[in-house]
Structure 1
Amino acid sequence: MSDHGTTTRSTPSARERRPQGGNVVTRFFSAIALYFSQVLDEMRKVVRPTRKELTTYTIVVIAFVTAVMLFTLGVDAVTTRLVSWIFSGTW
Protein backbone atom coordinates (compact mmCIF):
# COMPACT_ATOMS: atom_id res chain seq x y z
CA MET A 1 0.00 0.00 0.00
CA SER A 2 1.16 3.51 -0.68
CA ASP A 3 1.01 6.43 1.74
CA HIS A 4 -2.45 7.48 0.51
CA GLY A 5 -4.15 4.15 1.20
CA THR A 6 -4.30 3.01 -2.41
CA THR A 7 -2.64 -0.08 -3.70
CA THR A 8 -0.27 0.39 -6.59
CA ARG A 9 0.29 -2.60 -8.78
CA SER A 10 2.71 -2.65 -11.63
CA THR A 11 1.92 -4.96 -14.48
CA PRO A 12 4.90 -6.62 -16.10
CA SER A 13 5.65 -5.78 -19.69
CA ALA A 14 5.28 -8.39 -22.40
CA ARG A 15 8.99 -9.11 -22.24
CA GLU A 16 8.93 -9.76 -18.49
CA ARG A 17 5.97 -12.15 -18.54
CA ARG A 18 6.33 -15.87 -18.94
CA PRO A 19 4.57 -17.43 -21.91
CA GLN A 20 1.35 -18.95 -20.54
CA GLY A 21 -1.17 -19.55 -23.32
CA GLY A 22 -1.29 -22.15 -26.04
CA ASN A 23 -0.10 -25.70 -26.25
CA VAL A 24 3.30 -27.07 -25.27
CA VAL A 25 4.93 -26.41 -28.65
CA THR A 26 3.62 -22.83 -28.81
CA ARG A 27 4.81 -22.12 -25.26
CA PHE A 28 8.22 -23.66 -26.06
CA PHE A 29 8.80 -21.42 -29.07
CA SER A 30 7.35 -18.41 -27.23
CA ALA A 31 9.82 -19.03 -24.41
CA ILE A 32 12.71 -19.19 -26.89
CA ALA A 33 11.57 -15.95 -28.55
CA LEU A 34 11.22 -14.30 -25.14
CA TYR A 35 14.72 -15.46 -24.17
CA PHE A 36 16.33 -13.98 -27.29
CA SER A 37 14.30 -10.80 -26.88
CA GLN A 38 15.60 -10.42 -23.32
CA VAL A 39 19.17 -11.18 -24.43
CA LEU A 40 18.96 -8.41 -27.03
CA ASP A 41 17.54 -6.02 -24.43
CA GLU A 42 20.49 -6.75 -22.13
CA MET A 43 23.01 -6.42 -24.95
CA ARG A 44 21.70 -2.92 -25.67
CA LYS A 45 22.65 -1.97 -22.09
CA VAL A 46 26.30 -2.99 -22.54
CA VAL A 47 28.73 -0.08 -22.47
CA ARG A 48 31.69 -0.68 -24.73
CA PRO A 49 35.07 0.79 -23.71
CA THR A 50 36.70 3.46 -25.83
CA ARG A 51 40.01 2.79 -27.57
CA LYS A 52 41.86 4.72 -24.85
CA GLU A 53 40.16 2.77 -22.03
CA LEU A 54 40.84 -0.52 -23.79
CA THR A 55 44.52 0.38 -24.23
CA THR A 56 44.78 1.37 -20.56
CA TYR A 57 43.10 -1.85 -19.38
CA THR A 58 45.37 -3.94 -21.62
CA ILE A 59 48.52 -2.27 -20.28
CA VAL A 60 47.35 -2.73 -16.68
CA VAL A 61 46.63 -6.43 -17.25
CA ILE A 62 49.99 -7.04 -18.96
CA ALA A 63 51.84 -5.21 -16.16
CA PHE A 64 49.99 -7.14 -13.46
CA VAL A 65 50.58 -10.51 -15.12
CA THR A 66 54.27 -9.65 -15.57
CA ALA A 67 54.57 -8.68 -11.89
CA VAL A 68 52.93 -11.93 -10.78
CA MET A 69 55.18 -13.93 -13.11
CA LEU A 70 58.30 -12.26 -11.69
CA PHE A 71 57.10 -12.84 -8.12
CA THR A 72 56.44 -16.51 -8.89
CA LEU A 73 59.85 -16.81 -10.57
CA GLY A 74 61.51 -15.34 -7.47
CA VAL A 75 59.65 -17.61 -5.06
CA ASP A 76 60.46 -20.61 -7.25
CA ALA A 77 64.17 -19.72 -7.41
CA VAL A 78 64.41 -19.21 -3.64
CA THR A 79 62.51 -22.43 -2.94
CA THR A 80 64.71 -24.38 -5.38
CA ARG A 81 67.89 -23.06 -3.76
CA LEU A 82 66.55 -23.78 -0.28
CA VAL A 83 65.51 -27.34 -1.10
CA SER A 84 68.82 -27.94 -2.91
CA TRP A 85 70.74 -26.65 0.12
CA ILE A 86 68.73 -28.73 2.58
CA PHE A 87 68.94 -32.04 0.70
CA SER A 88 72.33 -31.85 -1.00
CA GLY A 89 74.23 -29.43 1.17
CA THR A 90 75.27 -27.31 -1.81
CA TRP A 91 74.14 -23.76 -2.32
Structure 2
Amino acid sequence: MAHDASGGEIVAAAGTTGGKKAGFFARIVIFIRQVIAELRKVVTPTRKELLKFTAVVLGFVVIMMALVYGLDYLFSWVTTVVFGVPS
Protein backbone atom coordinates (compact mmCIF):
# COMPACT_ATOMS: atom_id res chain seq x y z
CA MET A 1 0.00 0.00 0.00
CA ALA A 2 1.38 3.44 -0.94
CA HIS A 3 1.68 6.38 1.43
CA ASP A 4 1.19 10.07 0.75
CA ALA A 5 3.35 12.93 2.03
CA SER A 6 1.39 13.21 5.29
CA GLY A 7 1.96 9.56 6.09
CA GLY A 8 -1.60 8.47 5.30
CA GLU A 9 -2.32 5.48 3.16
CA ILE A 10 -3.44 5.98 -0.41
CA VAL A 11 -5.96 3.61 -1.89
CA ALA A 12 -4.79 2.13 -5.19
CA ALA A 13 -6.63 3.30 -8.27
CA ALA A 14 -9.39 1.06 -9.55
CA GLY A 15 -8.43 -1.39 -12.25
CA THR A 16 -4.76 -1.59 -11.29
CA THR A 17 -3.12 -4.91 -10.71
CA GLY A 18 -1.09 -5.42 -7.63
CA GLY A 19 -2.91 -6.92 -4.77
CA LYS A 20 -6.04 -7.68 -2.96
CA LYS A 21 -8.72 -5.02 -2.52
CA ALA A 22 -8.98 -3.71 1.03
CA GLY A 23 -12.04 -4.77 3.01
CA PHE A 24 -15.02 -2.54 3.65
CA PHE A 25 -14.00 -1.45 7.15
CA ALA A 26 -10.36 -1.02 6.10
CA ARG A 27 -11.49 1.36 3.34
CA ILE A 28 -13.54 3.34 5.87
CA VAL A 29 -10.50 3.65 8.15
CA ILE A 30 -8.34 4.74 5.22
CA PHE A 31 -10.95 7.33 4.23
CA ILE A 32 -11.09 8.74 7.77
CA ARG A 33 -7.28 8.93 7.91
CA GLN A 34 -7.23 10.79 4.60
CA VAL A 35 -9.91 13.23 5.81
CA ILE A 36 -7.91 13.95 8.97
CA ALA A 37 -4.74 14.43 6.92
CA GLU A 38 -6.51 16.92 4.65
CA LEU A 39 -8.01 18.79 7.61
CA ARG A 40 -4.50 19.26 9.04
CA LYS A 41 -3.56 21.10 5.84
CA VAL A 42 -6.32 23.69 6.30
CA VAL A 43 -5.07 27.17 7.12
CA THR A 44 -7.46 29.39 9.06
CA PRO A 45 -7.56 33.00 7.88
CA THR A 46 -6.42 35.85 10.08
CA ARG A 47 -8.98 38.28 11.47
CA LYS A 48 -8.00 40.88 8.85
CA GLU A 49 -8.41 38.37 6.00
CA LEU A 50 -11.72 37.16 7.43
CA LEU A 51 -13.11 40.70 7.58
CA LYS A 52 -11.91 41.39 4.04
CA PHE A 53 -13.47 38.18 2.67
CA THR A 54 -16.73 38.93 4.51
CA ALA A 55 -16.86 42.46 3.08
CA VAL A 56 -16.24 41.13 -0.44
CA VAL A 57 -19.02 38.53 -0.11
CA LEU A 58 -21.50 41.04 1.34
CA GLY A 59 -20.63 43.57 -1.38
CA PHE A 60 -21.17 40.95 -4.07
CA VAL A 61 -24.52 39.96 -2.54
CA VAL A 62 -25.68 43.60 -2.45
CA ILE A 63 -24.67 44.08 -6.10
CA MET A 64 -26.48 40.90 -7.16
CA MET A 65 -29.59 41.90 -5.20
CA ALA A 66 -29.59 45.30 -6.95
CA LEU A 67 -29.18 43.59 -10.33
CA VAL A 68 -32.05 41.16 -9.70
CA TYR A 69 -34.26 43.97 -8.36
CA GLY A 70 -33.50 46.10 -11.44
CA LEU A 71 -34.28 43.26 -13.83
CA ASP A 72 -37.49 42.44 -11.94
CA TYR A 73 -38.57 46.07 -12.12
CA LEU A 74 -37.71 46.26 -15.84
CA PHE A 75 -39.56 43.05 -16.71
CA SER A 76 -42.63 44.05 -14.72
CA TRP A 77 -42.66 47.43 -16.50
CA VAL A 78 -42.32 45.72 -19.89
CA THR A 79 -45.16 43.29 -19.16
CA THR A 80 -47.34 46.18 -18.00
CA VAL A 81 -46.62 48.09 -21.23
CA VAL A 82 -47.20 45.04 -23.44
CA PHE A 83 -50.27 43.56 -21.73
CA GLY A 84 -51.71 46.62 -19.98
CA VAL A 85 -52.89 47.05 -16.42
CA PRO A 86 -55.51 44.51 -15.31
CA SER A 87 -58.87 46.06 -14.44
Q: TM > 0.5 between the two?
A: yes
TM-score (norm 1): 0.67
Distance in 1 (alpha carbons) for counterparts of 2:63 and 2:11: 49
Whose Rg is larger? Answer: 1
Distance in 2 (alpha carbons) for counterparts of 1:81 and 1:74: 11
Structure 1: give runs of 5+ residues left out of the alignment: 1-10
1:34 offset after TM fit, Å? 1.4
Aligned residue type for 2:29: A
The answer as to 2:9 corresponding to 1:15 is yes
1:20 offset after TM fit, Å? 4.2
Aligned to 1:5: none
Aligned to 1:7: none
Distance in 1 (alpha carbons) for counterparts of 2:26 and 2:71: 57
Q: Which of 67, 79, 82 is the aligned partner of 1:86?
A: 82
Aligned to 1:55: 51
Q: Percent identity?
A: 33
TM-score (norm 2): 0.69
Aligned residue type for 1:40: I
The structure 1 segments of at least 4 consecutive aligned residues displaced by more than 4 Å after TM superposition are 17-21
Query: Which structure shows the higher strand fraction?
Result: 2
1:70 offset after TM fit, Å? 0.6
Q: Which of 62, 66, 71 is the aligned partner of 1:75?
A: 71
Secondary structure of 2:10's counterpart equals: coil
Structure 2: give runs of 5+ residues left out of the alignment: 13-18
